[in-house]
Structure 1
């Protein structure tokens, strides 16, 4: 199967391989596909695997058939001289962390990849070098590329220049392609998910093999001149960076693993707010789910979303939505550092998702539900033990327009205040044609003299009390009856209740999280 993909020998090799795999497969209808594109990460039926091998070729790094023949144990593939402890060996022999999500542990799947990573981590950059190994030098250079926004071409030229400056027998890759192949062993993979250009669906799960959107009928593929379909080029792509493997790698580092329990081990408890663990929202989770709170390593998360222009041009029509995840288990000096702010989703333009952002949040919500319901087996390098890691999403962080897209609350018009809701004091100015919001004296103490003044305000006294924020249950009750169809071309139906004064326009996807309705309403306003 290493022959030319168009040769007769390759065709014979494919058929021999498929028959061999069928004889040894646990499930003949769902076998790992070893083509260059799937790389044994996706399961397919035998006909699809045959088509993939003919079109994409076989993954050339797949030399030992442990996924289609006899399953060899990882311990047997390790030499006696390997400097890996028994606990680490147990971790790397674990089954894939989530068959539901299609996420495989790359080290358990491919022991040779782990050996290659160890070799690169120990091999000097050049003979006699004591400051850098091949891996550490490459990681530092790649971090600088990301930090200073170097182009791919400039980075390739820089690697070539450094290669000429170093001794002839150095280990530094000379091209960006070679550098990426070395860094892939770290397992920092991403998933490209095709999306409908009208934001109706993602081509995943039941829609994975569709070529047209079942809602609006738009083609999955990009349209060229004269509206001809360019096969293989998606019209819109979501970039998803699964957070679960990165959480597991945090705990594999002793220093970070220790810091992830700072809120339980070193936090000062004097009644003042020093950390999010002192906030009511954190305590709600501790009170309602004591089993979750009993494990301090369980993660408390937040996500931040906002639009950005990657080209730094105010007039550009292109937009990009990064979704960043923050972990609050860390001390305050670290939890907002760039190193621990994790990019999970990248929603590319040119159209902004708007209220249809729920379509793109679906993969992340699936992972969050899995972390809450099941947890993942994780190795703690600091305590040298395995434990089941779980996580909870406490709130989202947005500006006001993005808050409206994420929560489903109206943020403009006569009922734009998330706290006041239908009781918002608003007036439309006749000449400027703008809406202004008054009635803020309701939030002042009742004894304050400002409440009785007329001339300085709207010529009326204010004796009403401030409205109470809604609870999560009350919000869910209001949005349950809203009929909102996702997609730009789906013909919006806001509500079938007949309440024109409702300040809610959709049910947020966050309510798919079991615990979301139990959280305080003010969490939606972060």
Structure 2
């Protein structure tokens, strides 16, 4: 008995020494010593406390047993499960997954099987120096960097064209930088960064696609497809309203053609820690329900689990303006939690132009996306896994939608009194 007590005292002393060692390490890396993530079993690094409180929590609650690498307190990890490891997942979304232009070109090789000359031109742009003697940028990489800045800071098309013209004059002679936005877009369009403009009824009745593609007036309300001038004269060829559609299937296929991304798309099956904690959507009941109901779908771990998010924004950043533009974003939850919400992997699939929000008619605009999702579920598409170097049949399922309550009412089609009644039943 005495030996058992001595062993427990020794372990207790070692634990207390370990606590002090941890607190010293955390303090040395803390920006604010009064707001350090508490790693006890109850807080799980989700709550920030001062040192005294953390010490008490660790004594009474014990430390989270899964917290082997102190990533929330300044330690760098050598494993892919770290959110701040040497792989750079938590530091910079582009650190590990920054695609080189040459890799992007190789990823679209299959799209040019019938047009090899165009592929060779694209490959040439990816390898050609921006100007003679330049070693840091190729023509394609320079265009991509500038386009990223344009998107990040909201430059107008005219300002971007002027900037390209100025840079072209600043650079040495015989440089390869495009002189206009139009020329730059032609280079990127070859990479498959395309979208489809679908005309829409101004009253949100229909999309001019399929059987309505050639109509000039809406069959429901009779409104002209074309924009009206101030004198109510139809401007033939100028659409009244347009939906911007970015097909997700080609982008899914490109994700699997990237060896690094393809490997991470099965993280939920290969590397996820199953310890009873809800750490990833794969731990959620709805994910497991799909596994039980459709085991053939679940047996292929590369099949995608998706969510879409819809909400209105004011693109002009003017509170006095009622202009409402609706982007529909898609998230791929196969990826690790530190990647699936990164900008690189959040896909814009639909952009519903304003000025009015679609309301309950949002289903009209979702139709192209629904068709592609049905194809991914019922028919599947052929994809190439670059990591495993094999082709396979890719399927996908939409698990969730992410909205605020007004948008949730629009997405479910029961906004108003019916929606309030649904909430009351919940």
Q: CA deviation at 1:163?
A: 1.6
1:217 lines up with 2:222 in the alignment: yes
Correspondence for 1:310 among 306, 311, 315: 315
C-alpha displacement of 1:415: 6.5
More helix by share: 2
1:317 shift after superposition: 2.9
Q: Deviations over 1:94-122 (max 9, x none)?
A: xxxxxxxxxxx4x2453322222111111
1:284 aligns with 2:296: no
Q: Does structure 1 residue 393 correspond to structure 2 residue 398?
A: yes
Q: Deviations over 1:465-511 (max 9, x none)?
A: xxxx5xxxxxxxxxxxxxxxxxxxxxxxxxxxxxxxxxxxxxxxxxx
CA distance in 1, matches of 2:270, 2:171: 46
Counterpart position of 2:422:
418
Q: CA deviation at 1:413?
A: 4.4
Cα distance, 1:388 vs structure 2:
1.2
Count of residues in Structure 1 that have an aligned counterpart in Structure 2: 323
SS of the counterpart of 2:231? helix
3-state DSSP class of the match of 1:418?
helix
Q: In the alignment, does 2:251 pair up with 1:246?
A: yes
SS in 1 for 2:334: coil
In the other structure, the counterpart of 2:373 is: 368
Deviation at 1:321, TM superposition (A): 0.4
Aligned to 1:480: none
Alignment deviations for residues 249-302 of structure 1 (CA, whole Å, 9 cap, x no partner): 111111111111111111101111110000001111111111111111111100
Listed as ranges, the matches of 1:21-420 within 5 Å are 105=111, 107-410=112-415, 412-413=416-417, 416=420, 418-420=422-424
Return the alpha-carbon distance in structure 2 between the equivalents of residues 229 and 180 of structure 1: 30
Q: Distance in 2 between matches of 1:290 and 1:261?
A: 16
- TM-superposed deviation, 1:165: 2.4
Deviation at 1:226, TM superposition (A): 2.5
Q: Residues 408-464 of structure 1, C-alpha deviation per residue, up to 9 Å, x if partnerless? A: 234x4487153433xxxxxxxxxxxxxxxxxxxxxxxxxxxxxxxxxxxxxxxxxxx
Unaligned runs of 5+ in 1: 1-82, 94-104, 422-468, 470-526
Q: Which residues of structure 2 form unaligned runs of 5+?
A: 1-101
Which SS does the other structure have where 1:343 is aligned?
strand
Q: 1:306 to 1:159 in 2, by over 3 A?
A: same
Residues 409, 419 of structure 2: 8 Å contact kept: no
Residue deviations 1:41-88 (CA, integer Å, cap 9, x gap): xxxxxxxxxxxxxxxxxxxxxxxxxxxxxxxxxxxxxxxxxx99xxx8
TM (norm. structure 1) is 0.59
Which range moved further: 129-138 or 359-368? Answer: 129-138
- State the shift of 1:152 in Å: 1.1
TM-score by length of 2: 0.73
3-state SS of 1:164 partner? helix
State the distance in 1 between where 2:154 and 2:233 align: 35
Cα shift at 1:145: 0.6
Q: After superposing the two structures, state which structure 1 stretch, 307-316 or 158-167, moved more.
A: 158-167
Q: Secondary structure of 1:420's match? A: helix
Q: Given that residues 109 and 119 in structure 2 are in contact (C-alpha distance below 8 angstroms), is that contact kept between their aligned partners in structure 1?
A: no
